[in-house]
C-alpha cells in the first residue's frame, strides 16, 4: 500500500517533476505534487509525495529529510490525515460571518428604495 509523505520548505522553483526525481532516488514514486495557490499558480512551499511501500517511505524520510532541493533544505515526514475545516469563526467560507440581509453594495432591495446598489448614493 502506498504511503503519503509531506514535503515542506520547498523553493518556489520546485516542480512536480523535480520533486519526483529526488524521491525516485530512494524508491518508487506513485505521485509527486507541489501544492499551488489557485489564484496565482505560485507554489505554497509544500507538497506531497506518495511512495509505493511503507519501507520506501521510511527510507525517504531517513535519507531526504534536511536534504537540499533547489537551494532549500527540505522537511520530509509522514503526512497526517487532513483534519475537518473549522467554520466556528462564523459565517460560511464565502460570507465571512456577515449578518443576514442587505449590504451597502446591493442585496436587499427594501433597504435601497427601489433596488440596485446604494453604494455611492446620497439619501433620498
CA 109 to CA 116: how far, in whole Å?
Answer: 7
For 76-103, what is each residue's pLDDT tens digit?
Answer: 999 998 888 876 665 555 555 555 555 4
Residue ranges per domain, the chain?
3-78
Cell numbers placing 58: 521510511
Sheet hosting strand 3-8, strand order edge to edge:
29-36, 43-51, 3-8, 75-78
C-alpha 114/C-alpha 104 separation (Å) is 14
pLDDT given for residue 34 in this prediction: 98
Look at the domain 3-78 and name its fold. Answer: Alpha-Beta Plaits (3.30.70)
Amino acid at each position: 500500500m502506498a504511503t503519503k509523505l509531506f514535503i515542506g520548505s520547498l523553493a518556489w522553483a520546485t516542480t512536480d517533476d523535480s520533486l519526483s526525481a529526488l524521491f525516485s532516488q530512494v524508491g518508487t514514486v506513485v505521485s509527486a505534487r507541489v501544492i499551488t495557490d489557485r489564484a496565482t499558480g505560485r507554489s505554497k512551499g509544500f507538497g506531497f509525495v506518495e511512495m509505493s511501500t511503507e519501507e520506501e517511505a521510511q527510507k525517504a524520510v531517513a535519507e531526504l529529510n534536511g536534504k537540499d532541493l533547489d537551494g532549500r533544505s527540505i522537511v520530509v515526514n509522514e503526512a497526517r490525515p487532513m483534519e475537518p475545516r473549522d467554520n466556528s469563526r462564523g459565517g460560511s467560507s464565502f460570507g465571512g460571518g456577515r449578518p443576514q440581509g442587505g449590504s451597502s453594495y446591493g442585496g436587499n432591495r427594501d433597504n435601497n428604495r427601489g433596488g440596485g446598489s446604494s453604494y455611492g448614493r446620497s439619501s433620498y
